[in-house]
Amino acid sequence: MRRTLFLIAPLVLLGCSRPAAAPEVAPSPAVSSNGTQAIAGTDAAFVQAPAIDPLFAAVDADADAETPSVMLNRYVIALLNRNRSASDAAWAFPPADPRHADDAALRQLQDVRTLRLDSEPPVARDGQQPPRLLEVPVRIRAVTTQGTFRFGGWYRVQPSADGRAWQIQSAQLRPTLD
């Protein structure tokens, strides 16, 4: 009886954790230069511009800019590898002294084995359209030789001076308990 339960439990968990299938949507017809419609799968080329999230429109989409969460992941990797020049490049104004940085608790961790950053969707923090200041809520889990440390908080990001990438403006990280 127990063996049967051990075999059924993973199947039930797999069935419950599957995401819902996306509905199939037929592509809309594209209008060619001569005014006729072309359907995908025919001889005419069907090109559709990628959808741009208006939340990220402050950064030039033609520059293949990273989203704020991808930029923050790159930043955390640079911190983990102790690459100060790369981690400072992620900031609009890099901290002169890492001990007084907004995320000093993260920068001062020693003997880090693993570091995981989970970010949530950004929230606009200004009234402009498109927003020029986004707040990205984060949860960080760091495993060191001294133990496991967890932080919660946010990073605020803004477009760089040239408008081609996101940069960190400020951060707030707080230690959290399990």
Report the CATH number at residue 83: 3.10.450.100
Boundaries of domain holding 126: 54-175
Which residues are 135's β-sheet partners?
123, 156
Q: Name the token pair of 37.
A: 């419609």
Number of Cβ within 10 Å of residue 59's Cβ equals 23
Give CA–CA dist 72/90, Å, rounded: 8
What confidence score (pLDDT) does residue 118 get? 95
How far is the CA of 157 from the CAs of 53, 91, 110, 118, in angstroms? 16, 9, 26, 16
What pTM was computed for the model? 0.67
Give CA–CA dist 168/157, Å, rounded: 4
Give CA–CA dist 140/138, Å, rounded: 6
What confidence score (pLDDT) does residue 99 get? 87
Give which of 154, 159, 69 is closest to 106, Cα–Cα: 154
Please provide the distance, in angstroms rounded to a whole number, between the alpha carbons at the two ends of the chain: 35
Give which of 103, 114, 111 is closest to 136, Cα–Cα: 103
Per-residue pLDDT tens digits of the chain, which is 178 residues long? 555 444 454 544 445 444 444 444 444 444 444 444 444 444 444 444 445 566 777 787 765 678 899 999 999 999 888 899 999 999 999 988 888 899 999 988 989 999 999 999 999 988 888 888 999 999 999 999 999 999 999 999 999 988 889 999 999 999 998 6
Residue 15 counted as domain residue:
no
Residue 148 counted as domain residue:
yes
What confidence score (pLDDT) does residue 130 get? 86
Residue 31 counted as domain residue:
no
What confidence score (pLDDT) does residue 136 get? 96
Show the CA angle centred on residue 163, arms to residues 157 and 169, nearest 5°. 20
Q: Domain total for the chain?
A: 1
Residue 137 counted as domain residue:
yes
Residue 116 counted as domain residue:
yes
What confidence score (pLDDT) does residue 66 get? 87
The beta strands (E) that lie in the chain are given as: 30-31, 37-38, 112-119, 123-124, 134-144, 147-159, 166-175
Residue 70 counted as domain residue:
yes
What confidence score (pLDDT) does residue 52 get? 59
